[in-house]
Structure formats: C-alpha cells, structure tokens
Amino acid sequence: MSAVIPYAREDAGAPPSLVADYRSTVPRSPREPLVRIPATLTETTGPTGCWDRLMGPAMADLTTQHRAPPLGQRIIVTGRVLDERGLPVPDTVMEIWQANAAGRYVHVKDQWDAPLDPNFTGAGRVVTDGEGRYRFVTVRPGAYPWGNHRNAWRPAHIHLSLLGPAFATRLVTQLYFPDDPLIEIDPIANAVPMPYRQRLVSRFDMSVTEPNRALGYRFDVVLKGREQTPFEEDAHDH
C-alpha cells in the first residue's frame, strides 16, 4: 500500500484530507489517487421547491422546542447564502446542529460529564428566502474536550449543512465565534489554512442583537469561487 497522501481539493481554502495533528484524518484519508465519478442526473437534480413537504416545516428557533427555555446565552445568527458572483441563492436548506451551553451533545457517544439540558436538543433547520437570507435563534454552545491530544478542547461552534438543488450539492461547515482563544489551538479549525480560516468565524453585529433578548451574529456563506466558505474535515466530531 502506498504512503498516505495529503489530498487537497480544488479550492486553496479547503482543508486537506490528511492533517497529522487531527488524528481522525490519518485512518480516514485517501491512500490512493482519487477517481472522479461523473455526476449523473440523480446527483444533479433534486427536491428544490418542496423542502417543507420533504423535511417538515422549518425549525428556526432552537430555544422554543421544549416546555421551557434552555440554559445559556441566547443568540441570533443570520446572514446570506451567496454564489461566486455574490448573488443570493434562494431556497437553500441549512441544517443546524450543536452542543448545548455546557458543551454537551444529545448523542449516545457523548459521555463526558457536562450536564444535558432537557430543554435543548441542539438541532434546527431553516430555508433561505428569495434574497438568500437565513436566520435562526439558539444558545451559544460551550467548549468541550474531544480526546485528540492531551487537554484538547474544541472551540464553541455550530455545525451547518447546506443542501442546494440536489442532495449531492452539499456543503458541510462550522461556524465559530470571534475572540475565541481555542480557535488558534484547534486542529480541526487549523486544518483550514489562513486567511481562509477567518471565513469560518462569525462577526458580532449590534444591529442583529435584540434588546433584553439575544446577542446577534452575522455569518454569510459563499458556496463557490474565490470567497468560498471552507468545508471542514470533521471525521471525529459529533
């Protein structure tokens, strides 16, 4: 078997499949040159325009899904989904999942001793409007240990999965928060080279913040081109 080969995608801002410091990529990265399979009609067409019928109604407020409000700092996240020309991309599904304010996922494999919140599941879904805009309400997730190396902690982040006109047109990425010191020492975030890594960091926006209710953050997603939002090689994370 040949040696492990770091495989970089076409976009310079995308992380390679093999990042030595991110241990889960070592057994999961390609050992041989990739074989490109041409896309067929099945991959390039899909259920655009009927997401509600297929997936159910949007779940844009993760803080009102249970009997009581969840613990933690309530936040609003909003932005636009854009193409390489800066034009809005409407009718795009954005799936959301995250840890709770204590850094714990509702997941059978997450067994560290941070408390679960009975009023927070950490899952949501929105669809962009005609101007490519999206908005959801949640709580700021907490950092958590992840066992990659001694004293390893993941910075606060929200997972985002965007579905375009077909299921094969998918971007999976993560949203980080400004001024988080853990970003600089996180192997997953640092798999994305600079300056592209900054595209994964949201920005605080006072105009999005609602008085006495929630802090506001803005995060635009660019699907391709020079300003493309990097995906993330997230082999270990929940």
Active site residues: 105, 144, 154, 157, 159
What is the C-alpha end-to-end distance of the chain, expressed in Å?
30
Going through 140-234 in order, the beta strands assigned E by DSSP cover 144-145, 153-154, 157-163, 170-176, 203-204, 215-218, 221-222
CB 189, CB 200: distance < 8 Å? yes
Amino acid, res. 81: V
Amino acid, res. 76: I
Q: Give φ, ψ of 196 to 5 degrees.
A: -65, -25
Burial class (CB in 10 A: 0-12, 13-18, 19+), 226: exposed
CB 111, CB 104: distance < 8 Å? no
Structural element, H or E, at residue 171: strand 170-176
How far apart are the C-alpha atoms of 137 and 157, rounded to whole Å?
14
